[in-house]
Structure 1
Amino acid sequence: MVMKTILVPVELHELSQSTLQTAALLGLAFDSYLEGFTLSPALSPFMAADAMGTMVLYQEDAQDNGENAAKARQAFLDAMQAHAIPETTGTGKGPHFGWHAETHGDDFIGNIGRAFDITVLGRPGSKYGQPRGTTLEAALFESGRPVLIAPPEPPRQFGKNILIVWNGSTETARTIAFALPLLARADRVVVLTVEGSSVSGPDGADIVTYLNRNDIACEARSVELEGRGVGETILAETAVHGSDLIIKGAYTQSRLRQLIFGGATREIIAETTLPVFMAH
């Protein structure tokens, strides 16, 4: 069980270093091929008042995009070199990387991501210049593959002490199946169920049995909300267990309800300091 191909969209933002570090550590763990490419920056928040102003903005954006692409490529190369990961033009043994020369937008991630085992992204934020939520959603909903969301700070390691958030859903079952290579390498795995937050389906003990039959030792834990939200409860449990990676199905509630009320998925993404492995 391995993750041999990793897609790494590179965008210059405050979480770039953490994203590249997370991708490199994953590649080293599985002797993977990592492919980077420049992700198109978000549109400028400023609008021109007339046609001439629009032309000037387009010219400036084109120049900026070229500079951003060069900087993004260099950041990716620096991260690979820092971990002694070599570049290759073909298949190779051990971790290695390649660079896709063209710049692409979010839709490309959903398309090309289907040809990779996993995509590594920065944690999305609401401010201009931060990773975009649309990038994460393109990877989650269009690629059919899992996503690893990097934490705010570059991790030294992750995947040794894993917390699975189990709620009985199809999305979470699929996420666990995708995560088996990581789970097989872990020293400790906790299957967490938050009372009152599950849909109809197997309970935590059933998932422990499933993982045991895949030669993965783990334990089940069930907790009450005790007046807290689901996301807050899950984050508190990561501290209790000293977890270094969260595995969770993405957007189990309806998308409309998620948009209006937020939901545990959005809260965890926004607040956690850990990498998050997700699939839909």
Structure 2
Amino acid sequence: MKTILVNLEVSAALDATLACGIGVAREFGSYLEGLHVRPVQPDVIAAGADGFIAAAPDLVAGFEKDARERADRLRDAFEAAVRGAGLPRFTEPGSTGPAADWHLGAGAAANVLGSYGRIFDMILVGRPMADSLTPSTAALEGALFESGRLLMIVPPTATTFRMDRILISWNGSTETSRTIALAMPMLDRAKSVIVHSVEKGMVPGPSGEALARMLERRGQTVEVVDHPGDDRPVGKVTLDEAQRLGADLIVKGAYTQSRLRQMIFGGATSYILSNVEVPVLMSH
């Protein structure tokens, strides 16, 4: 976890996302980069009287002004946070220890985050909220499906970063196995790990007990909790149990069922992305 990318958007989750990014950088001595993706100015945004599409200079100027002010606000928030945490600005490529820098991208946030994020160990994004356009679901899914990296999804409530007690939401899937592998630096530093399974959410694959035995071979202290399931959605069972068991962090594979199916019928990933109150690590 030596290179961390934080996606910065003006949202209720901004302070929490910065706090968690700084917490990870301190824990692992990481380079932390704050990224804001500025939307590209549209070439044409108004219809002319002759039926052709024509540029509207006043609207273009307003678009540019808003985008510039938003970028300045986010840069100031990032720099204030890292300065308050005592993280030095990045200087040389060969330098070691925690450091931070700022990057301004341009384009569609989902595309930029999914592409640029491929060179980092982990990407932090804010948790989408039903009553707000930001944090962006599109940016989250771009990073999830296109970067190939570990994501930390941060809710507004996660104002401090802790990883003493980590819950693995195990369902036997390839997606969860991959997430565990990417999250292993955190799992190795946890004081305790909970392997939690919900019976009706399992797919063909190893049991929670089998996973626990392998983790114990790494010297980890592991507790196995198998839940038979009830009338609650699997995602709700997972979050309720994470709260009951005092988990600081959740590790979960994303979209074992197809994303389209989960959008239509619901699923554990969709429920957790909408409701989680502690950071969650995901990959696909």
Provide the TM-score with structure 1 as the length reference. Answer: 0.92
Give deviations 1:94-150, integer Å, cap 9, x for gaps: 210122244452211111111000000000124444211110111110000010011
Q: Distance in 2 between matches of 1:224 and 1:43?
A: 52
Matching residue within 175, 178, 183 for 2:179: 175
Identity of aligned residues (%): 41
Contact 1:4 1:32 in 2 (8 A): yes
Q: Does 1:201 align with 2:199?
A: no
- How far is 1:20 from its partner? 0.7
Match of 2:71 among 69, 84, 107: 69
The alignment of Structure 1 onto Structure 2 pairs a total of residues equal to 276
Match among 107, 123, 129 for residue 127 of structure 2: 123
Q: Quote the offset at 1:57 in angstroms.
A: 2.3
Query: Which blocks of at least 5 consecutive residues in structure 2 are unaligned?
Result: none
Structure 1: state its 5+ residue gaps: none
What root-mean-square deviation, in Å, do the aligned CA atoms of Structure 1 and Structure 2 show? 2.0
In 1, Cα distance between equivalents of 2:242 and 2:179: 18
Instruction: Say whether residues 1:96 and 2:94 are aligned partners.
Output: no
Q: Runs of 4+ in structure 1 displaced over 4 angstroms?
A: 41-44, 47-54
SS at 2:210 equivalent:
helix
Question: Does 2:263 match 1:259?
Answer: yes
Deviation at 1:72, TM superposition (A): 1.0
Name the larger-Rg structure.
2
Matches within 5 A, 1:200-279: 200-279=204-283
Q: Is the 8 A contact 1:11 1:41 kept in 2?
A: no
- Cα distance between partner residues in 1 of 2:275 and 2:208: 24
Checking the alignment, whether the CA contact within 8 Å between 1:10 and 1:37 is kept in structure 2 is yes
Task: Note if contact 1:164-1:192 (Cα within 8 Å) is conserved in structure 2.
Answer: yes
CA distance in structure 2 between the aligned counterparts of 1:129 and 1:259, rounded to whole angstroms: 17
Q: Give 2:83's match in structure 1, choosing from 81, 84, 102.
A: 81
Q: Kindly state the Cα deviation for residue 42 of structure 1 after the two structures are TM-superposed.
A: 10
Structure 1 counterpart SS, 2:201: coil
State which of 147, 151, 154 in structure 1 corresponds to 2:155: 151
SS at match of 2:282: strand
**2:200 is paired with a residue of what secondary structure?**
coil
Report the counterpart of residue 37 of structure 1 in structure 2.
Answer: 35
Instruction: Give the TM-score taking structure 2 as reference length.
Output: 0.91
Query: 1:219 Cα deviation (Å)?
Result: 1.5
2:58 pairs with 1:56: yes
